[in-house]
Amino acid sequence: KPQDERHDGARKYIDQIPNVKVIEDVANWIQNEAKKRMETILQANPKIDVVYAHNDPMAVGAYWAAADAGRADEMIFVGVDGLGGPDGGIKRVLEGKLACTFYYPTCAAEGLDYAVKLARGEDVPPEVILEPARIDSTNAQEWYDKVTVD
């Protein structure tokens, strides 16, 4: 499942950092729910360095809660999806709300290409690994232009 991959992948790196206290909460992939959960977390935790969310909307919801509390500048916000468009995570990186987002390839286009090849009797690789990409202030405009359809 994508949520397990995102969770386990993030923890693989976070758990290597000494003296990090991790607070895990569930917002069910919903922006408003993430905002509500973050409001509670902010009240209970005077120091927060990084907020990581399994999707961009939850990261933005957490950002809004911190901004409303006057604390958004104390921490950085990281999302996953790397979606384009005016409400996507890449736009939020360009606006400075998210420090970064990660493009998470869905493999739909590749799956269709391989299905067509199989239907034609062509060989396809037995395994295809699509790499995610980090989108931050250094490449957000390039990614936004690439994935946003006007």
Alpha carbon separation from 20 to 56, 64, 78, 100, 117 (Å, rounded): 23, 24, 16, 20, 48
Per-residue confidence (pLDDT) for residue 127, from 0 to 100: 86
| Statement: residue 60 has pLDDT above 70 | yes
Per-residue confidence (pLDDT) for residue 41, from 0 to 100: 96
Per-residue confidence (pLDDT) for residue 7, from 0 to 100: 86
pTM above 0.95, yes or no: no
Looking at this protein, which amino acid is placed at residue 26?
V
| Statement: residue 84 has pLDDT above 70 | yes
| Statement: residue 81 has pLDDT above 70 | yes
- pLDDT > 70: what percent of the chain? 99
